[in-house]
Amino acid sequence: MKKLTQILTILLLALTSYGQTDTVPVVNTAFKPDEYLKYKIKYGLINGGNAEMKIELEQVGYDWYYRVKAVAQTSGVVSKFARVYDRYESYIQLSDGMPLMAIRDINENNYRRYNEVIFVHDENKIISLKSGEHKVPPGTLDVLSAFYYARRMIFNKELKKNEVINLTSWFDEKLYVIKVKYKKTEKIKTKFGKLKCLKFVPVLGKETPFKKEEDMQVWFSDDGNFIPVKIRMKAGISTVKCDLTEYDGLKNPLGKPFTR
């Protein structure tokens, strides 16, 4: 329980950490403005909090962008000793899914952290309000836009069993190369019935906080929306569970078979 704030951050990373960027215009068939996703987070048998993700359309200058927002917060008895309200935002280009700006606003007990990052893709750099300019590899994403990029550009392709997918993202003033592995497609039980899902696990290594692949598992709906519907993560002697509880504004019917 004392590491709940770290767990919430890892869960957000789990929702967003897939893909290898290819910055070309691609028709978006995975999501649309007004999409809303809500998750319940449990630590063992205790309700620990919830997370929400939503998409809006917003004009910046002469151009329109997806404005996506994710919020994670503790609730109930957990919030008595681990009060968390973390907000992430990203402005994403409609044409190719690349971010224009990312916002990270962290409120965890007495800890506060706020930062804005501008992405200058034609110069392969980012400008951080906190630390200034940094050179980055082509196609670098922030942690939130990576999630929507993967849904739009990666999951609609045929994946091979045990295929490793890499992602470069800028998070917490550092470049991260996150590696995950596609395991299989399977049907799982959810609040909304049995859904066919893509299952992913972490690639184990020295910097990975997990000892076994089974310590972290994420299932995305294989229906053209590719939304995360279930996450399971080992945390000490217990398990953190994150399950989809509400949704609205999906581009495709939940659970409808997707043909590649």
pLDDT reported for residue 131: 96
Q: Estimate the crossing angle of helix 143-153 against helix 4-16, to 10 degrees.
A: 30
| Encoded tokens for 137 | 């590899």
* pTM exceeding 0.75: yes
User: How far apart (Å, rounded) are the C-alpha atoms in residues 39 and 214?
Assistant: 21
Coil, helix or strand at residue 162: coil
Coil, helix or strand at residue 7: helix
pLDDT reported for residue 141: 92
User: How far apart (Å, rounded) are the C-alpha atoms in residues 186 and 258?
Assistant: 13
Rg (CA), the chain: 17
Are residues 43 and 238 in contact, defined by beta-carbon separation less than 8 angstroms? yes
Nearest to 35 by CA among 224, 204, 199, 207: 224
**How long is the chain?**
260
pLDDT reported for residue 70: 93
User: How far apart (Å, rounded) are the C-alpha atoms in residues 225 and 149?
Assistant: 12
User: How far apart (Å, rounded) are the C-alpha atoms in residues 19 and 230?
Assistant: 19
Left (φ > 0), alpha (ψ -120 to 50) or beta: where does 32 sit? beta
Residue 21 CB neighbours (<10 A): 24
Residue 101 CB neighbours (<10 A): 19
In the chain, what are the domain boundaries?
Answer: 4-246
The values of phi and psi at residue 80, to 5°, are -70, -30
- In tens digits, what is the pLDDT along the chain, a chain of 260 residues? 334 455 545 555 555 544 445 566 678 999 999 999 999 998 877 788 899 999 999 999 999 999 999 998 888 777 777 788 899 999 999 999 999 999 999 998 888 999 999 999 999 999 999 999 999 999 999 989 988 998 998 899 999 999 988 778 898 899 887 778 899 999 999 999 999 999 998 887 666 667 787 888 999 999 999 999 999 988 777 788 999 999 999 999 999 999 98
